[in-house]
Structure formats: C-alpha cells, structure tokens
Structure 1
Amino acid sequence: MSGYCRIAPGHPLHGPYHDHEYGFPSSDETVLFERLCLEIMQAGLSWELVLRRRESLRRAFLGWEVDRVAALGPADAARLLADPGIIRNRLKVAAVIENARRVQAFRESHGGFAAWLQAHHPREKPDWVRLFRKTFLFTGGEIVGEFLMSLGYLPGAHAEDCPVAARAIAAGAPWARATGQAPERT
C-alpha cells in the first residue's frame, strides 16, 4: 500500500476519514462545499491539522450551509479571524465566503454544485484545475486535485490493494463509472 492508505488505518483522525469519506462520491451540497473548504484550509498545512480543527471549522462556518456562509459579511469575517479554533488566514476565510456565493450561483446555472461537477465530468486534472481557477477563489492544482480525489472524480484516493478502494468504486466513484469500473448510481 502507498500514501494515505498506509498512514490512515488505526489513526484516530485519518482512519475514519480514509475509511468512510475519502474517495467516496457525494451529491450533498453541504458535503461538497465542506470538502472544498477543507482543502482550501489545508493549503500549506498538514491534513492532520485540518482534521483536528474540522469540528471547530464546521461550527465557525455554520455547518457549511452554503446560504448561511454566503450571507457572512465583514464583521463575520473579522470574528472568524479572531477564532483560535480555526485556521485563521484572511485569504482562506475570504475565499470560503466568496466561494459559497459562487456555489449558490450553480443552483441557477446548473441546478446545484453536484450538477455543475457532473456537467464537467470527466476531465483530466489540468482541465479541472483551469476550470476551478476560473470559477473559485484559492483553488490551485493540489487543492483541486485533492478535492476531486476526495469525491471520486479523479482516481488515486486509494491504492489498488487498499480494502477501502473497492468500497469507493462500488459506491459509484465518478472516475470509476466513467471508465466502466463502477456501477451507475440510481
């Protein structure tokens, strides 16, 4: 086994995320938005730090409810930047709030965040990165790649010999569906 699959098993933070979330598809707007925001928060930091602060981030960003986050204003941003329980980076906080507004716009243009992703799938990573950079704030190559792997839009979340890989494929990981390796979800 390699990478994340080697360090996650049995770890109190990495293990549950690896075994039940990483690489598994979701169409829930809150889940999609949280994953994107967690990847933004992780930039330049360790994933373990993000997982340690996940609950504080969830509380601070109102359960990752897109409409509530999109409604945050300058006073809210200042409050967030003073919260020692979260990752206090002005650019990241501003990106989360603005990206919530952009996700709201997907409802009108595509029927939602999940539909927007599906409308652009499949793509190679460089094409996804270009699309995300045009669409969202604070989304470089690593952020986009990890976000898409975390939801099964790109392969690589799990090593082939990882026992979780088969479950993610069976759950309908989009990359596996696009290559005929997973059943279509109904």
Structure 2
Amino acid sequence: MSYCTLIEYLPDHKKALHKAYHDLQYGFPIHDDNELFARLILEINQAGLSWETILKKQNNFRRAYDNFELKKVAIYTDQDRLRLMNDPGIIRNRLKINAAIENAKTILSPQGEFGSFEEWIRENHPKSKEEWVKLFKKTFRFTGGEIVNEFLMSIGVLLGAHVKSCIIYEQVLKAEPLWKNPV
C-alpha cells in the first residue's frame, strides 16, 4: 500500500501539513453540523487559491468565524463583516464572507426541517455529482461545481478522496458513514 500520489510527491517542507489533512480528515464522514459548515466554508474560501493556503489559515478561520458555530455566524452583523474583511489571517473576499454568513442562515433552516445539516444531506442522498451541484447552487451561495464536488468528497459522500491503493482508502470506507452507499 502507498499514499495518494499527491502526498508521495510533495516536498518535505509541505508534506506534514498536507499529510495530516489527508490522513485524518479528507474523505472521512463528519457528524457535527458546525464541522460540516466549517468544511463547506473552507472549500468556498479555497476557490481560486491553493488548498495549502487554506490549510495554513485553518486555525485563523476557526478563530475569525467563532469556531464555525452556525448560530453565531448566522447572526453576524455588518460590524462582523467589516471585522472579517480586515482580518489578514483569513481570505478577505466580500463574496466569500457574505456566503459564509448567508449559508449559516440557510443551514439553520434545514436543521429545523430535517433536524440537522447532516440529515439534510442524508435525506438528499444518493445523487450524482451533477444533481448535488444543482441542489447546492439552488440552496447555498458561492457553491459551484468544484466546491460542491470537493466538499462532498471531503466528507465521504462522493468517492474519490483517495485512490484504492492509498493506505487511508480502507480507513475511510470503514468509518461510520453519514449514509450507506456513497456514489
């Protein structure tokens, strides 16, 4: 067994950062709505940038967005938007900041109907990538095809986070899934 090609060929000074995410997070199901929200927001912020940039800023994002607590982010004010726009530790993009706040509000709405964001995803599963993209674009802000694909792969809904020969692949398959059959 080996690792996914990306990890094997990274230079040593980058490998530790990526390997920690690859081995412990990428492709593993998340059962906490705040953490699902966190992953969605990190994927949104990655758009147009490298994933390495997001990994390096992940702790700054947690601090800036109140550890991605949905109920807190959903009630952010214009003052909070300004605070985030002036925070050099995160990605200071007005569209991405507004998307985080609006998406928190949107997630709280499915929580009321389905009980949780996780259950909303479960109730909509299974879908093809194209169907997921259409649903996310209709439901959330700043969720294009690549963002939705990476988000769903990163939480184990869509396969593809790891190649079959990767030593983490079997661990992901054995993890408690959010749903029975990923597509």
In the alignment, what sits opposite 1:156? 160
Residue type matched to 2:80 in 1?
A: D
Q: Is the 8 A contact 1:8 1:15 kept in 2?
A: no
Per the TM alignment, residue 6 of structure 1 is displaced from its structure 2 partner at its CA by: 3.7
Give me the whole-angstrom Cα distance separating, in 2, the residues matched to 1:9 and 1:31: 29
Q: TM-score, normalised by structure 2?
A: 0.92
Give me the whole-angstrom Cα distance separating, in 1, the residues matched to 2:181 and 2:10: 27
Residue type matched to 1:43 in 2?
A: A
Per the TM alignment, residue 13 of structure 1 is displaced from its structure 2 partner at its CA by: 1.2
Give the secondary structure class of the aligned counterpart of 1:163: coil
Matches within 5 A, 1:36-185: 36-173=40-177, 177-178=180-181
Give the secondary structure class of the aligned counterpart of 1:167: helix
Q: TM-score, normalised by structure 1?
A: 0.91
Q: Are the structure 2 counterparts of residues 152 and 49 from structure 1 closer, same or farther at C-alpha, using a change threshold of 3 Å?
A: same
- 2:20 equivalent to 1:16: yes
**Which of 24, 30, 33 in structure 1 is aligned with 2:34?**
30
Q: Which runs of 5+ in 2 are unaligned?
A: none
Aligned length: 179
Give the secondary structure class of the aligned counterpart of 1:138: coil
Q: Are the structure 2 counterparts of residues 127 and 164 from structure 1 closer, same or farther at C-alpha, using a change threshold of 3 Å?
A: same
Give me the whole-angstrom Cα distance separating, in 1, the residues matched to 2:136 and 2:182: 23
Give me the whole-angstrom Cα distance separating, in 1, the residues matched to 2:9 and 2:58: 19
RMSD, aligned CA: 1.9
Deviation per residue, 1:6-42 (Å, 9 max, x gap): 4579712111110011000111011100000000000
Q: Is the 8 A contact 2:30 2:178 kept in 1?
A: no
* 4+ runs deviating over 6 angstroms: none
Q: Are the structure 2 counterparts of residues 95 and 20 from structure 1 closer, same or farther at C-alpha, using a change threshold of 3 Å?
A: same
Per the TM alignment, residue 4 of structure 1 is displaced from its structure 2 partner at its CA by: 3.9
Q: Is the 8 A contact 1:9 1:15 kept in 2?
A: no
Give the secondary structure class of the aligned counterpart of 2:102: helix
Deviation per residue, 1:141-162 (Å, 9 max, x gap): 0000000000000000001000
Q: Is the 8 A contact 2:42 2:54 kept in 1?
A: yes
Q: Is the 8 A contact 2:37 2:68 kept in 1?
A: yes
Give me the whole-angstrom Cα distance separating, in 1, the residues matched to 2:8 and 2:49: 20
Give me the whole-angstrom Cα distance separating, in 1, the residues matched to 2:102 and 2:123: 22
Give me the whole-angstrom Cα distance separating, in 1, the residues matched to 2:11 and 2:114: 38
Give me the whole-angstrom Cα distance separating, in 2, the residues matched to 1:137 and 1:151: 19
